[in-house]
Amino acid sequence: MVSKILVRASESDRLQELATQSRVTGRISRRFIAGEALEEATEVARELIATGRTVSLDLVGEKVRDAADADAAAADYLAVIQAMSTGQLTSGISIKPSQLGASDDVDAAHHRLTLLAARAGEAGLHLTLDMEDATTVDHTIELVEALHGDGHTHVGCAVQTALFRTADDIDRLNELGASLRLCKGAYAEAADISHQRREDIDEAYHRCARRLLEAGTYPRFATHDHRLIGAIRRDARELGRATDSYEFQMLYGIRPDVQDRLIEIGEHLCVYVPYGVAWYPYFVRRLAERPANLVFFARALLP
């Protein structure tokens, strides 16, 4: 219940304005956000890479107001690609389609993504389209298909095991050869299209992960759930998948202990590193995922 309220709060413009103007929330958000400037994010990326991780940089932001904002986001992403290329920061970038205007004009978003995919490809970077709420799944998958059709095979997307449709989407995208990020899903979705119980979402995760290990191109398992990580590692061994044919992904600031352990045992780990001024929705979704974060948040607000 609390989680659903928080996920809805992440969509409130008024709360966003209040939170981003507050120095206290700005400071607290640093637990999950690498900073507001690109230089801060690349510095964090360098530190993570020095510990054996790779990174996927995400310029936080979603649902732009108009084409000019979408163009500005695309230009910012070109700067990210340039900075990663110059700093030899592996291995990719993550983009929300709505940030490039896909919710209003998919063709224009495709056009912006084509340029970004070309530059990312030249820099040797993988490009993942984040998956947003369920209304965006069709056009996100179509964008991946269109970009593959144009030869940008280093483009993939996230898929969410909370949604009933995801097993079919995985089969469709496996056929294309797209490298997919498997996650549980961070949005509050309706009961007629999605699992509501955590156990069901976790079971679906395990089934989808197995499918990706059987037939997927370089699957990216985005989870901090140690039971699922154990199950995936066992399945990978059983199916004869080498550790360099898939990776785990985790969010910046979350379960660094599990991250260290994965590195120690020789698994590949990519850390999703968000940065930028529009951090509010991302931050609130992280609070929603774990009630203990609310206690941490409340404590930090006390004088």
Ligand X SMILES: Cc1cc2nc3c(=O)[nH]c(=O)nc-3n(C[C@H](O)[C@H](O)[C@H](O)COP(=O)(O)OP(=O)(O)OC[C@H]3O[C@@H](n4cnc5c(N)ncnc54)[C@H](O)[C@@H]3O)c2cc1C
Contacts of 214 (CB under 8 A, 6+ apart): 239
293 binds ligand X (CB under 6 A): yes
54 binds ligand X (CB under 6 A): no
203 binds ligand X (CB under 6 A): no
Known catalytic membership, residue 133: no
H/E run at residue 129? strand 126-129
| Cα-trace Rg, the chain | 18
| Window of 1-9, 42-50, 185-193, 238-246 that interacts with ligand X by CB under 6 A | 185-193
185 binds ligand X (CB under 6 A): yes
With respect to ligand X, which residue has the nearer C-beta, 112 or 184? 184
Give how many residues touch ligand X by CB under 6 A: 24
251 binds ligand X (CB under 6 A): yes
Amino acid identity, position 84? M
Known catalytic membership, residue 181: yes
How far apart are CB 159 and ligand X at their closest, in Å? 9
The C-alpha atoms of residue 303 and residue 287 are separated, in whole angstroms, by: 20
With respect to ligand X, which residue has the nearer C-beta, 63 or 286? 286
The C-alpha atoms of residue 152 and residue 147 are separated, in whole angstroms, by: 5
The C-alpha atoms of residue 229 and residue 221 are separated, in whole angstroms, by: 8
Q: What DSSP line would sit under 180-222, residue for residue?
A: EEEE---S---TTTB--SHHHHHHHHHHHHHHHHHH-EEEEEE
Which of 173, 169, 170, 94 is CA-nearest to residue 126?
94
- Return the DSSP state at 246: -
273 binds ligand X (CB under 6 A): no
Spot the catalytic one: 112, 119, 181, 220: 181
97 binds ligand X (CB under 6 A): no
Indicate which single residue of 290, 295, 300, 301 sits in contact with ligand X (rule: CB under 6 A).
290
- Return the DSSP state at 136: G
Indicate which single residue of 169, 249, 276, 283 sits in contact with ligand X (rule: CB under 6 A).
249
Assess contact for 250 and 259: CB atoms under 8 A. Answer: yes
The C-alpha atoms of residue 69 and residue 248 are separated, in whole angstroms, by: 32
Q: Which of residues 112-151 bind ligand X (CB under 6 A)?
A: 130-131
186 binds ligand X (CB under 6 A): yes
28 binds ligand X (CB under 6 A): no
Residue labelled with tokens 């699922």: 228
| Window of 76-84, 101-109, 119-127, 248-256 that interacts with ligand X by CB under 6 A | 248-256
19 binds ligand X (CB under 6 A): no
Active-site annotation, residues:
130, 181
Residues forming the site for ligand X (CB under 6 A): 130-131, 158, 160, 181, 183-187, 222-225, 249-251, 254-255, 272, 286, 289-290, 293
